[in-house]
Chain A
Amino acid sequence: MSSTTESQIPLTPEQIQSFGEELDAIRQRVLADRGERDANYIRKVIRAQRGLEVAGRGLLWAGVFPPAWVAGTAALSLSKILDNMEIGHNVMHGQYDWMNDPALSGKQFEWDNACPADQWRHSHNYMHHTHTNIVGKDRDIGYGVLRMSEDQDWRPYYLANPVYATLLALFFQYGVALHDLEVERLRTGETKLADKRKLIAGIWKKVRRQTLKDYVIFPALSGPFFLFPLAGNATANLVRNVWSFTIIFCGHFPEGTHEFTEEETEDESRGEWYYRQLLGSANLSGSRPFHILSGNLSFQIEHHLFPDLPANRYAEISTEVREICERYGIPYNVGPLGKQFGSVVKKICRLALPDRKPRVDNPPAVAEQSGEQERVPVAV
């Protein structure tokens, strides 16, 4: 561990060790307790998703009738949200691998999204979850197009930060699909397009299939009324895009979440890894249906501590995690959607402009370089 990190973490090495052990104990307990309840839960969600999808497609087939179009679009939107969030995202984390059911195997699952599942597993499960909020390593910070942290140097390009964010929200599934391409590294010449041929072929294959299904085959089945399912499918994809963008950006970018440098996270212990996951994530408060539609990413903190525990367990363990945080004096960032997303929007706009405070070269700690008062100071 570098001395920089030591100065930043307000816990003694013994405390960080016992903090990690307490979290490990929660994980162990849930792992040992997984069973029929979790299997029934995910199958129930899948059943609901398949039902909504079939109903949505059926109603949109007759979408020339306005009530059918509205109901069909709503059902298909919900179906795509469930498919991507509570089912796809969580199953692909390997949360249900223990069931030994090929249909729920994290390595085999494919989702109703433009991003090929295998690329998602790499960019999300590995890159994002291992290197959470480490600027320069976690490419979810801004997805290579936005400035989401003061640690990203300002350039005039970022003046349009809110515009890029809006476009990313509208076309989020394509943003996610292009994620592993590392467009910004292509631009800087760090990587070459030729090295990405296999990746591009994978994306093209998946995008083509998704496009064919949503924008050619299903509309064609409605014959002369093809415009109605076409518009319904486009709307459902749009609704899912904006929803998942909102939930995901509320997970790591509301005020109070922290970013880290590569140096300060070198040789992390397990306790320190947990600590970083906690400070880098934020929860959303809300009702049970809201949590399900967010894929339980409203429990982003618990998800980042235990990415492969079945997501239906996050709500239960959140009270314990919160209690542990209180005991160790570690901030636990939670708020309603409106407040959290409001602060994300504010950050997107603020970071479009150069920092008000001049940057200090090689800052010793993340907390000190931010001029924000609402940030919880983590340095001792």
Chain B
Amino acid sequence: MSPTTAIAAPSRRRGIPARGLFEAIAGPHGIDRYLEQINPTLVLGECRAEVTAVEHGSEDSVTLALRANRAWNGLRAGQFVQVSVEIDGVRHNRCYSPASVEGRGRELEITVKRHPEGLVSNFLADHAQPGMVLGLSEADGDFHLPATRPGSVLLIGGGSGITPLMAILRTLCAEEYPGKIALLQYAPDPSRTIYREELERLEAENPNFTLSRSYTRAPGAGELDGHFSPTHLPQNDPCFTSAETFACGPPALLDAVRGTWANGLEQRLHVESFVPPALFPVGEPGTGSIRFAGSDLEVENSGASILEQAEQAGVPAQSGCRMGICHTCTCRKLSGSVKNLLTDEVSAAPDEEIQLCVSAPLSDLVIDL
């Protein structure tokens, strides 16, 4: 069912008779399908956000200030949201970690780094402008500041992995956090460093905050040099053995960090992987496995259509024409790549609807069935 109908029931239970009446007369489409005709952010059952400002922070990134609609419940510093943007008629979803201060209501800020072949990042960098409305999800993820603030905080960020750390740092500075904060930032060179000026300003204004940067392609330009190594860690408070540590960035950085935090320190380390929204690899037909998420079943890919493989595995799949015309078997593919056997079209992005009867896997696959 649509999100609109999904939320209608609980609100009726909460005893808002007018809402129930509105949903009854707005049926079957739901009240949001009318409200959005007046203004897309008026919808009650779906989070959406309007772009209020666009800033081209570094040469390969853009920072968007967003105002979420009333359906959105806010976030904790460090969490991520899913943002939907429509490009040439097709909706694409991507996860971003807002860099906004916790508790600022419905205002949030995301920074989008251009990836050479990134459809969404390039679209937003080129076309985002105030007034544009984007789809939004509720904030999610365990990577956030604990409600009881720790004694000291160590932040380690690589590339655009700086954004959730920025949310944590800004939040701590805004609430005049008394403990020590250190940030190790890894970036290719000063011109491609997100939040450079603001970080320098925060360091000047907050004596408890120390900023150390390493420019991996511009040795000597920062306080540190090279990729992460334990020697980069501050010697005194916030010492990595006692501070609550948040690390976010590409997998290689996180692997190096995890290695250092072994031997009982793991519980103080929070990591979040930040990888470009890469498409799933396209492999050989007939390899890999299919996982049916709803049925909690996994089978070896036989190379046949996903519908046939689901039926063989005993997964309750709906089916009809078995020739790709009736869309009865249409299902959401959560991850992996598939080929449409009629059109040879490859679907390699996460979260796309596919027709099971005419699709065959090209990689490990997770199907919402």
A positions within 8 Å CB-CB of B:
28, 31, 34-40, 46-47, 50-51, 54, 57, 93-94, 97-103, 105-108, 110-112, 117, 121-122, 125-126, 129-130, 209, 212-213, 217-218, 270, 273, 307-308
**Residue B89 contacts which of A38, A57, A121 (CB distance < 8 angstroms)?**
A38
**B24 contact set on A, CB distance < 8 A:** 209, 212-213, 217
**Is there an interface contact between B321 and A126, defined as CB atoms closer than 8 Å?**
yes
A-B contact count, CB below 8 Å? 99
- A selection of 28 A-B contacts at a CB cut-off of 8 Å is A35-B88, A35-B89, A35-B90, A38-B89, A39-B86, A39-B89, A93-B327, A94-B327, A94-B330, A99-B91, A100-B351, A102-B2, A103-B2, A106-B327, A107-B327, A108-B1, A111-B28, A117-B28, A125-B320, A126-B320, A129-B325, A130-B321, A130-B326, A212-B24, A217-B21, A217-B25, A273-B323, A307-B325
Q: Does B352 contact A (CB under 8 A)?
A: yes
**B343 contact set on A, CB distance < 8 A:** 28, 31
Q: Chain A nearest CB: distance from B35 CB in Å?
A: 10
**Is there an interface contact between B320 and A213, defined as CB atoms closer than 8 Å?**
no
**Is there an interface contact between A308 and B91, defined as CB atoms closer than 8 Å?**
no
**Residue A50 contacts which of B34, B89, B321 (CB distance < 8 angstroms)?**
B34
Q: Does B37 contact A (CB under 8 A)?
A: yes
Assembly CA distance A125 to B330 (angstroms)? 12
Q: Does B311 contact A (CB under 8 A)?
A: no
Q: Chain B nearest CB: distance from A104 CB in Å?
A: 9
- CB within 8 Å of A: which B1-50 residues: 1-3, 21, 24-25, 27-29, 33-34, 37
**A98 contact set on B, CB distance < 8 A:** 89-90
**A308 contact set on B, CB distance < 8 A:** 325, 327
- CB within 8 Å of A: which B245-280 residues: none
**Is there an interface contact between B89 and A97, defined as CB atoms closer than 8 Å?**
no
Q: Chain B nearest CB: distance from A329 CB in Å?
A: 25
**Is there an interface contact between A106 and B330, defined as CB atoms closer than 8 Å?**
yes
**B192 contact set on A, CB distance < 8 A:** none
Given A99-B90, A125-B326, check contact A105 B37 (CB 8 Å): no
**Is there an interface contact between A102 and B3, defined as CB atoms closer than 8 Å?**
yes
**Residue A100 contacts which of B3, B91, B326 (CB distance < 8 angstroms)?**
B91
**Is there an interface contact between B320 and A130, defined as CB atoms closer than 8 Å?**
yes
Assembly CA distance A6 to B352 (angstroms)? 41
**Is there an interface contact between A130 and B323, defined as CB atoms closer than 8 Å?**
yes
Q: Does B345 contact A (CB under 8 A)?
A: yes
Given contacts A47-B37, A94-B330, A126-B328, 14 further A-B contacts (CB under 8 A): A28-B343, A34-B89, A50-B34, A54-B34, A98-B89, A100-B91, A101-B86, A103-B33, A110-B28, A121-B328, A122-B328, A209-B28, A213-B24, A217-B25
Assembly CA distance A212 to B26 (angstroms)? 12
Q: Chain B nearest CB: distance from A362 CB in Å?
A: 28
Measured CB to CB, the nearest residue on chain B to A128 is B326
Shortest Cβ-Cβ A-B pairs, 10 listed: A126-B320, A39-B89, A94-B327, A110-B28, A130-B321, A100-B91, A125-B326, A126-B326, A35-B88, A36-B89
Q: Chain A nearest CB: distance from B284 CB in Å?
A: 24
**A102 contact set on B, CB distance < 8 A:** 2-3
Assembly CA distance A101 to B321 (angstroms)? 24
**Is there an interface contact between B28 and A112, defined as CB atoms closer than 8 Å?**
yes
**Is there an interface contact between B320 and A122, defined as CB atoms closer than 8 Å?**
yes
Measured CB to CB, the nearest residue on chain B to A131 is B321
Measured CB to CB, the nearest residue on chain B to A209 is B27
**B232 contact set on A, CB distance < 8 A:** none
- CB within 8 Å of A: which B327-367 residues: 327-328, 330, 343, 345, 351-353
Q: Chain A nearest CB: distance from B342 CB in Å?
A: 8
Assembly CA distance A80 to B320 (angstroms)? 28
Given A106-B327, A110-B29, A307-B325, check contact A50 B37 (CB 8 Å): yes
Assembly CA distance A130 to B328 (angstroms)? 12
Q: Chain B nearest CB: distance from A30 CB in Å?
A: 11
**B352 contact set on A, CB distance < 8 A:** 100
Q: Does B106 contact A (CB under 8 A)?
A: no
Given A31-B345, A106-B330, check contact A213 B89 (CB 8 Å): no
Q: Does B92 contact A (CB under 8 A)?
A: yes
Assembly CA distance A54 to B34 (angstroms)? 9
**B323 contact set on A, CB distance < 8 A:** 130, 270, 273
Measured CB to CB, the nearest residue on chain B to A38 is B89
**Is there an interface contact between B89 and A99, defined as CB atoms closer than 8 Å?**
yes
**A47 contact set on B, CB distance < 8 A:** 37
**B2 contact set on A, CB distance < 8 A:** 102-103, 108
Measured CB to CB, the nearest residue on chain A to B21 is A217
Measured CB to CB, the nearest residue on chain A to B340 is A31
Q: Chain B nearest CB: distance from A301 CB in Å?
A: 15
Measured CB to CB, the nearest residue on chain B to A88 is B28
**Residue A51 contacts which of B37, B88, B321 (CB distance < 8 angstroms)?**
B37
Assembly CA distance A105 to B33 (angstroms)? 14
Q: Chain B nearest CB: distance from A166 CB in Å?
A: 28
Q: Chain B nearest CB: distance from A272 CB in Å?
A: 12
Query: Counting chain A CB atoms within 10 Å of each CB, which of B27, B28, B352 scores highest?
Result: B28
Assembly CA distance A324 to B351 (angstroms)? 38
Q: Chain A nearest CB: distance from B202 CB in Å?
A: 39
**B3 contact set on A, CB distance < 8 A:** 102
**B321 contact set on A, CB distance < 8 A:** 125-126, 129-130
Contact indicator per residue, chain B 86-130, by CB within 8 Å of chain A (1) or not (0):
101111100000000000000000000000000000000000000
Q: Chain B nearest CB: distance from A88 CB in Å?
A: 9
**Is there an interface contact between B25 and A125, defined as CB atoms closer than 8 Å?**
no
